Amino acid sequence: MKIEKILWQDRRDFKAVFVCEHCGEKEERNGYDDAYFHRDVIPTLVCKKCGKTSPTDYRPLTTKYEPWEVL
C-alpha cells in the first residue's frame, strides 16, 4: 500500500487514502507521521482485496515535520 492522498493531519496523526500498488484497491486508514511509520509500517500493510503488501522497490514519503520538532 502507498499513500495516495492525506485527508487531514493534526500534529503527527493523520488520515489518508492508501492505494494498493497491485490491484488499485483504495481504503482510508489512520497513520502517524514519523520515519518508522513511513519506512517500516506502510510497506507491510496488507491489502484487504488481494492480500499483498508493497513491492520491494517501495519508496517511503518524507515526514511533514523533522524528528526534533516539538509540536
Q: Which of these, 62, 51, 1, lies nearest to 26 by C-alpha position? A: 1
Grid coordinates belonging to 25: 484497491
Grid coordinates belonging to 2: 502507498
Write out the H or E segment, with its range, that includes residue 36: helix 35-36
Task: Tell me the per-residue pLDDT of 3-23, one tens digit each, with 9 for 90 and over.
Answer: 999 999 999 999 999 999 999
Q: Is residue 71 part of a domain?
A: no
User: What is the pLDDT at residue 36?
Assistant: 96
Task: Tell me the per-residue pLDDT of 20-68, one tens digit each, with 9 for 90 and over.
Answer: 999 999 999 999 999 999 999 999 999 999 999 999 999 999 999 888 8
Residue 70 pLDDT > 90, yes or no?
A: no
User: What is the pLDDT at residue 6?
Assistant: 96
Strand, helix or coil for residue 39: helix
pTM here is 0.89
Domain count, the chain: 1
The residues facing 28 across adjacent strands are 17
Q: Is residue 59 part of a domain?
A: yes
Q: Is residue 51 part of a domain?
A: yes
